[in-house]
Amino acid sequence: MTSLAVSAVGAQAVPAEAVAPAGVTSLSADTSLSAAGVTGQAGTADEFDGADCVVGPGAPGTDARLPDPFTRNDGTRITAKADWECRRAEIKKHAEDTIYGAKPAAPQSVTGTVSRTGITVNVSDQGRSTSFSASVDLPSGSGPFPAVVVLGGFGADTATIKNSGAAVISFDPYVAGAEGTGRSTKRGAFYDLYGSSSSTGLLVAWGWGVSRIIDVIERSDGSILRTDSFGVTGCSRFGKGAFVTGAFDQRIDLTMPVESGTAGAPILRGVATESGAQPLSSGYGEQPWLGDAFGSHVNNPAGLPVDTHSVIGMIAPRGLFLMENPSVDWLGARSGSVAALAGREIYTALGVTSNISYVSDVADGTHCANRAEWRAPMQASIQKFLLGTGNAPGVFRVAPSKSGNLADWRTWTTPQLS
């Protein structure tokens, strides 16, 4: 087919003179987007809304219990669903400033190719450039297909993803941010652009890599992969990455973290007190998953202005399926259940309670196993949020052995938003 050369930076898209290999959509930096019906810099309009919101200074946390996600920085509570956009922008800023580090604005240029077997990504920003790739595994059928980005390949139920009608994009997050490099010498594609001494942690760097993959797909001709339907999943440390990736890119329709543990979905205030859970000091120090600023909260999570229930709110009202393992104490599943219960209150206030599912009541205690208890809600979630068929599962099954009590963790009530 004839490739369509498009760029994240420019003005008129025109057919490229070269002919791409069969099944390949090519994107090049030499032309621009408007003739193809796509305008704007990569990711700016839809990667995260709330750009017009005024985010004022917020006070630090003062309570060992969970902060009220519905209270603005100025102390007033939101009253309408439409208020959530700017409240979400406040939460995002707090989360960047105190937990994860900043996710930069969309880069100046993102180009690449989409084929039936792989995706290439080339990124330039502020005079620096980097490149990476990911593999594609298509389900049966003619497509185009929605796609689920699988971080790391460990523990993801790729068979169920494909059987549900979605493509699997296998992305090695270490190419975006490598582990074992320390806080002052971070390496990988993200740090190629933003510096090895960046205060941003690996989880945001991994999510940044997924966002750039989405940029390339979004600007392809849509003949192989749909340009408007994306999911993300991963297990263990890659579950942490999936959770943060979904929170920081609103083009992701379905987020499915698996056994994410400390620095993932479980409330940070909870894992600090949960017997056997990975301590915050370990979650911060084992790898630079979290941003450098979190170091000042390792021993004082009550000082955080937000917690992971609010990060779940950054995903709302989009699809979310949280999967946890109660058999491994290190994973902090009780704190995970509290995060899910508190996060579900945000979904309820927005009128989409069924868009969040949570299952920790599983028989197999093996870390990152593919479990029968997760299969049906995963398939239903993919069909609803990526294919647009059926109903959101709205499943909530908490393991009795690791069941947290939300009443112990909040003083706020859930508003009825107009």
The residues annotated as belonging to the active site are: 236, 367
Q: Which amino acid is at 312?
A: I
From residue 187, how far is each of 176, 178, 204 by CA, in Å? 8, 6, 13
Bridging pattern class, strands 25-27 and 109-114: antiparallel
Residue 54 half-sphere exposure, CB side, CA atoms within 13 Å? 2
In Å, what is the CA distance from 38 to each residue of 7, 8, 131, 227, 307? 10, 9, 23, 11, 36
Q: For residue 319, give the 3-state DSSP assignment.
A: strand
108: which 2 tokens? 């100046």
Handedness of CA 95, 98, 99, 101 (dihedral sign): positive
Instruction: Dig out the tokens for 342 from the structure.
Output: 């508190």
Determine which helix (DSSP H) or strand (DSSP E) holds 208, and give its type and residue range.
helix 202-218
CA 169 from chain centre, in angstroms, equals 15
